[in-house]
Structure 1
Amino acid sequence: MSKADLHVHTIMSDGSNTIDELIPMCKARGVDTLAITDHDTIGAFENFKDNYDIKIIKGIEFSTTYKNKSVHILGYFIDDKNKELNNKLTYLRNKRKNRAREIIKKLSAKENITIDYDNIKKDTDDASVGRMHIAREMVKLKYVKNTEEAFAKYIGDDMPCFVKNEKVTIPEAVELIKNTGGISFLAHPGLIKDVDNYNEILDYGLNGIEVFYPKHSNEQRQYFYDLAIERNLLISGGSDFHGVKTKGKNKIASAYLTDKYLEQIINFHKNMTK
């Protein structure tokens, strides 16, 4: 049986592996279609050569806000040469850099934790610096035992050194994805806090829902599956893999799509771009 993992991150955002390093991991887990979906960046495709023996779908994961809640939007079949998209991502990348520097300043002033921004930039190729990079540096310098502790004590939402990040809105993300010829999905809806009505989010014109996700319970998976069927939306799934060093359930192919759902996505995209 073929497997498609449509939610994987690389070193260009907060993952710890390159595309080249991901390929053998995918093959070992039976994955023959992979979507690279880095946070607010398409840097992984800058020197991309489509000569792998598994299919690579160019994607992105936008961090957006909805009623002061964090909502992630996945985009597949992204045109990484699109000027509008690249301009927006450059703007967001610069905002992320400034945010990282502000977090580092707070860590120093409030917690006497010294982090060198240049070390983080070196590890990420300065592509899309996020809190996970700072957390990993804190682990490396032995300020915390693991990245979970870094978030729980210092840099997580509402923690002493948290700095709010500027994000696009859901309609902006959907429009940016659409304008590149891509299709949009609501990422891991079960992780969104305190949502009473998912239909309000889906009404922004999303094409599908990420139903199969490692941290979705069986009940959540069934609920989002039924919601997708009810609204005639596409069904996606993936592991949200960030690297072998990241603890938890999000291992490659810990959630995936079978041929049936992948073919529906591919056919929808082909018909859309005819």
Structure 2
Amino acid sequence: MTVLNADLHCHSTVSDGTLEPEALAARAHANGVELWALTDHDEVGGQHRAAAAARALGLPYLAGVEISVTFLGRTVHIVGLGIDPDDPVLVAGLADTRGGRERRAREMAEQLAAVGIRGAFEGALKYVGNPELISRTHFARFLVETGVCHDTHEVFRRFLTEGKPGYVEHRWAALGDAVRWITGAGGIAVIAHPARYAWDNATQEYALFTEFKAHGGRAVEVVTGSHTSAEAVRYAELAREFDLAASRGSDFHSPDESHTDLGALPYLDGRLTPVWELLGDRIVH
């Protein structure tokens, strides 16, 4: 395998990150990243900026996106790497996926108001670079700013998660649609941070991998900012079992909030096929 300090999952102000695409490119380059992808949630509006910034730095780049999917009643994220960000079917699908976020955000604010936290919608909007992509992360920053919580980790222990005030379920794209949009745009679909989904049992996770592969998905994130070393070993085994390539990404959002910085991850298991080996012709130099 090609050993690379690849970071193929992060977010800018175009979705719910706090840095502009150009600042992310500079940070990745400064941190020794050798192949980078910006993967904003349900949005490709920062792709040309990110690619131009990476090219100016001599940093190899893969265009990317992270699509929100509803599968077995849970929100699952599918990363697309090596996409054409101007593909019309992908762009239209992402626009449709983003469509319900404002309505959901207003319902979240109503729930928070019911427990005495007022002005949350307007407060969250202050942190939104793209109003179509208002999310739980923006509400979390508001709750920290106003002193309701000490940090965003406390927010997600007390609010905005299932069974807690401010949680509103939303139906995203279908798994098959997300994979087809990515592959139709010339990219490879990747299951993002699989350990985060807290399935009720192993059968549900197996169903995700099985259906993902049946729709044409080809890779899984093995090393991520939210996986423990034991989880990386587990998903390396599942990658081999399902004959999937392996990806690596910090899921970096902010210098102040993210556990793992760009470029700071362990390397992939040498027995795996890195996803970038399948995407050589899609890398922008």
Q: TM-score, normalised by structure 2?
A: 0.84
- Residue 147 of structure 1 aligns with an amino acid whose one-letter code is T
Partner Cα separation in structure 1 for residue 175 and residue 101 of structure 2: 18
Aligned equivalents of 2:165, 2:273: Cα separation in 1: 46
Distance 1:160 1:52, change over 3 A: same
Match of 2:209 in 1: 202
| Structure 2 residue identity aligned to 1:43 | G
- Structure-1 residue corresponding to 2:71: 66
Per-residue deviation, 1:113 = 2.4
Gaps of 5+ in 1: none
Alpha-carbon distance change, 175 to 256 in structure 1, aligned in 2, over 3 angstroms = farther
Mapping for residues 77-226 of structure 1, pairs under 5 Å: 77-117=82-122, 120=125, 123-194=128-199, 195-197=201-203, 198-203=205-210, 204-205=212-213, 206-226=217-237
- What TM-score results when the alignment is normalised by the length of structure 1? 0.87
Maintained 8 Å contact 2:21/2:49: no
Q: Which residue of 1 aligns with 2:13?
A: 11
Distance in 2, matches of 1:180 and 1:109, equals 43
* Aligned with residue 40 of structure 1, among 39, 42, 45: 42
Deviation at 1:208, TM superposition (A): 1.0
Hey, what's the Cα distance between the residues in 2 that align with 1:139 and 1:167? 27
1:17: how far off? 0.7
Q: Deviations over 1:194-251 (max 9, x none)?
A: 241444222232201111123323332222112222332111111111110105x322
Paired residue for 2:278? Answer: 268
Kindly state the Cα deviation for residue 132 of structure 1 after the two structures are TM-superposed. 0.4
* Amino acid aligned to 2:262: I
Q: CA deviation at 1:4?
A: 0.7
Task: Work out the percentage of aligned pairs sharing the same amino acid.
Answer: 27
Which of 12, 28, 31 is residue 29 of structure 1 equivalent to?
Answer: 31
Larger displacement relative to structure 2 (183-192 or 226-235): 226-235
Q: For 1:52, give the aligned amino acid.
A: A
Q: Secondary structure at the match of 1:145?
A: coil
- Indicate the larger mover: 139-148 or 11-20: 139-148
Structure 1 letter corresponding to 2:178: A
Q: CA deviation at 1:262?
A: 10
Letter of the structure 2 residue corresponding to residue 16 of structure 1 = T
Separation (CA, whole Å) in 1 of partners of 2:281 and 2:121: 49
Return 259-268 or 225-234, whichever deviates more: 259-268
Looking at structure 1, the residues matched to 96 and 122 of structure 2 have their Cα atoms a distance apart, in angstroms, of 19
How many residue pairs match? The answer is 271
User: Does the Cα contact within 8 Å between 1:211 and 1:237 map onto a contact in 2?
Assistant: yes
Contact kept, 8 Å, 2:125 with 2:138, in 1: the verdict is: yes
- Alpha-carbon offset, residue 115 of structure 1: 2.5
Instruction: State the 1:159 CA deviation.
Output: 0.8
2:15 corresponds to which letter in structure 1? S
Rounded Cα–Cα distance in structure 1 between residues aligned with 2:189 and 2:37: 13
